[in-house]
Amino acid sequence: MSASVVDPAVKAQARELLNLIDASPSPWHAVATMETRLSMHGFRRLEECERWTLRSGGRCYVVRDDSSIIAFVVGAGALAETGFRIVGAHTDSPGLRVKPNGPNRAGRMARLGVEVYGGPILATFTDRDLSLAGRITLSNESGRLDTRLVDFDRPLVRLPNLAIHMNRKVNEEGLRLDKQKELPVILSVLEESLSPRDQFLELLSERLGCAPDTILSWDLNLYDTQKGAFWGPGDTFLADSQLDNLTSCHAALVALLDDAALNAESTAVCAFFDHEEIGSQSMKGADGRFLPDILERIAFGLKVDPEGYKRALACSFLVSADMAHAWQPNFPAAYEPDHHVIVNDGPVIKVNANLRYTSESVSEAIFMHLCERVDVPCQKYSHRTDIPCGSTIGPMASAGLGIRSVDVGSPMWAMHSIRESAGALDHTYMIKVLRCFFSSDVL
Ligand code: CO
């Protein structure tokens, strides 16, 4: 395949990714979107508080607290001998979240106070057509608590830039935003009679079809309403929000739903966690019990004894999939000169001697071998030695389970911008490799 023109099958797969992102304006929506996709393919939802009985070929998924999801297909082989093939990724993206008492008055204006979630590039949130999406808990007519998803689905709030006439040095010094004073987003010009909180509750209740005074609490994410797009000659590039890391979730999901994974010997697992951007330490994060609990429950559900479960772990493998930094030629000083990663040149193996990434020579070689099997090129990334390196879910998930792991991802630009970009071809490459990972005898 040439990277200058994208063929229709590649474009269709990338289009599907953009559609998934556009239908998922918050991690809670991302899980709901993936849940719909899984149920369409015959996957059954399991509740953690119920008893599970599993059989080989069984397709199931578990959701923990609305924003982390683990889907699996029970392998045809004995679990103790064939183990788990796991792809891990994350459902959350950095951004801004509405504070509990967010609606506030500033002069004649109503604003929403926000808190920074993770490490977004704040300047990219200015002058965008922002909206709100997330989950709301309310007390319904029968006096019970009810948690519902909400999405305004149209531009609703905004963070207007200061005109250059009042910020003359913005192009020399960059846009700096004071997180406390300069991030609240504009909602409206206030009518004297209405408090900002009442106005906001009214908006929410209209959207949800409930009474304003039944709303108790919210998790609300600010998102960009601009839809995903292809760009570049031949439509080889993609732009959207949340490419980090819904790209990896989508690639893994497509691979899991392929016949090869649905009929594999090993148990194929997709584990998508919330809270990666804030360190993963939560009841549903990669540094918590979610993945170990579910793997153990799979073993129990198959009547595998404790030794059999440990044997299964010993022959398991984790591909931790998260995005990688592609080379941007305008900023050569930011990159390690001998590890330039190029968009549309294939999946990236991320290596860090201090194990901010889990890849080591053996797991690197396994992933390279998988790429070779399906004729996909691959690249290696090492961060500059003089800049601190990022991390992801791999190190925690692999340490918690004691299983071998590799950290990989598709190349992208502008990680943590509200509008990120990546390559269409890389997405197809990643799907191919993950499909082979679930089904091949390479391990
Ligand atoms: Co990420």
Confidence of residue 5 (pLDDT cuts 50, 70, 90): low
Distance (angstroms) between ligand 1 centre and the Cα of 368 equals 22
**Do 274 and 335 lie in a common domain?**
yes
Give me the number of domains the chain comprises. 2
Same-domain pairing of 338 and 380: yes
What is the value of pTM for the model shown? 0.97
Tens digits of per-residue pLDDT, 97-118?
A: 999 999 999 999 999 999 999 9
> 8 in helix, strand or coil?
helix
Instruction: Please determine, for residue 436, whether its predicted confidence score (pLDDT) is greater than 90.
Output: yes
Q: How far does residue 213's CA lie from ligand 1's centre (Å)?
A: 37
Res 3 pLDDT > 80: no
Q: Please report whether residue 401 resides in a domain.
A: yes
Work out the average pLDDT over 292-296.
Answer: 98
Is the Cβ–Cβ distance between 338 and 330 less than 8 Å?
Answer: no
CA 54 vs CA 37, 76, 209, 267, 298: distances in Å: 21, 12, 39, 12, 7
Q: Give yes or no for a contact between 272 and 286, defined as CB atoms under 8 angstroms apart.
A: no
Ligand 1 center from residue 208 Cα (angstroms): 31
* Residue 229, domain member (yes or no): no
DSSP 8-class letter at 158 = B
- Residue 392 CA to ligand 1 center (angstroms) comes to 6
Q: Output the domain CATH number for residue 209.
A: 2.30.250.10
Residues 335 and 205 occupy one common structural domain: no
Domain membership flag for residue 350: yes
The token pair that represents 328 in the structure block: 């941007």
Distance CA 350, CA 257 (A): 26
Ligand 1 center to residue 30 CA distance, Å? 14
Expressed in angstroms and rounded, the spacing between residue 391 Cα and the centre of ligand 1 is 8
Answer yes or no: is 127 within a domain: yes
Distance set, CA 389 to CA 11, 222, 334, 341 (Å): 32, 27, 12, 15
Q: What is the pLDDT of residues 344-355, one digit of tens each?
A: 999 999 999 999
Residue 230 lies in a domain: no
How much distance in Å is there from the Cα of 94 to the middle of ligand 1?
9
- Considering only CA atoms, give the Rg of the chain: 23
**Tokens coding 340:** 């330039």
Ligand 1 center to residue 290 CA distance, Å? 19
Average pLDDT, the chain: 96
> DSSP labels for 160-180?
PPPPGGG-TTHHHH-----TT
Domain check: are 80 and 167 in the same one? no
**How far is the centre of ligand 1, averaged over its atoms, from the C-alpha of 84 (Å)?**
23
pLDDT at site 1: 46
* pLDDT, mean of residues 338-345: 97
CA gap 20, 79 in Å, rounded: 32
Tens-digit pLDDT profile for residues 231-261: 999 999 999 999 999 999 999 999 999 999 9
| Residue 252 domain flag | yes
The protein residues having their C-beta less than 5 angstroms from ligand 1 (an ion) are 244-245, 322
Domain that includes residue 87, residue range: 8-93+241-439
Return the biggest CA–CA distance within the chain.
71
CA triple 261-263-267, angle to 5 deg:
65
pLDDT at site 4:
63
Give the pLDDT confidence of 370-379 residue by residue, as tens digits. 999 999 999 9
Q: Based on the domain organization, do 186 and 333 belong to the same domain?
A: no
| 125 belongs to a structural domain | yes
Q: Ligand 1 centre from 194 Cα, in Å?
A: 41
How many angstroms does the Cα of residue 112 sit away from the middle of ligand 1?
Answer: 27
Of 224, 256, 285, which one is at a domain's C-terminal end?
224
SS3 readout for 319-366: EEECCEECCCCCCHHHCCCCCCCCCCCCCEEECCCCCCCCCCHHHHHH
Q: How many C-beta atoms lie closer than 10 Å to residue 416's C-beta?
A: 18
| Structure confidence by residue, pLDDT tens digits, 139-197 | 988 889 999 999 999 999 999 999 999 999 999 999 999 999 999 999 999 987 889 99
Cα–Cα distance measured from residue 248 to residue 101, given in angstroms and rounded to the nearest whole number: 34
CA of 207 to the centre of ligand 1 (A): 31
Ligand 1 centroid from CA 121, angstroms: 14
Q: Ligand 1 center to residue 415 CA distance, Å? A: 8
What's the pLDDT tens digit per position in 68-106?
A: 999 999 999 999 999 999 999 999 999 999 999 999 999
Within this chain, do residues 33 and 175 fall inside the same structural domain, yes or no? no
Query: Angle at the Cα of 179 (from 396 to 333), degrees rounded to 5?
Result: 65
Distance from the CA of 409 to the center of ligand 1, in angstroms?
A: 9
Same domain, 18 and 33: yes
- Write down which residue in 224, 251, 281 finishes a domain: 224
Whether residue 181 sits in one domain with residue 254: no
- DSSP 3-state assignment of 72? strand
Q: What is the CATH number of the domain that holds 40?
A: 3.40.630.10
End-to-end CA distance of the chain: 28
Judgement on whether residues 329 and 206 belong to the same structural domain of the protein: no
Same domain (yes/no): 89, 119: no
Same domain, 277 and 356: yes
Q: Identify whether residues 186 and 198 lie together within a single domain.
A: yes
Count of CB atoms situated within 10 Å of the CB of 301: 18
Distance from the alpha carbon of residue 49 to the mean position of ligand 1, in angstroms:
30
C-alpha 90 – ligand 1 centre gap (Å): 7
- Going from the Cα of 189 to the center of ligand 1, the distance in angstroms, rounded, reads 37
Cα(347) to ligand 1 centroid in Å equals 15
* Structure token pair of residue 108: 């004649």
Query: Ligand 1 centre and the CA of 418: distance in Å?
Result: 13
Q: How far is the CA of 319 from the centre of ligand 1 (A)?
A: 14
Q: Is 13 inside any structural domain?
A: yes
Predicted confidence band of residue 305 (pLDDT cuts 50, 70, 90): very high
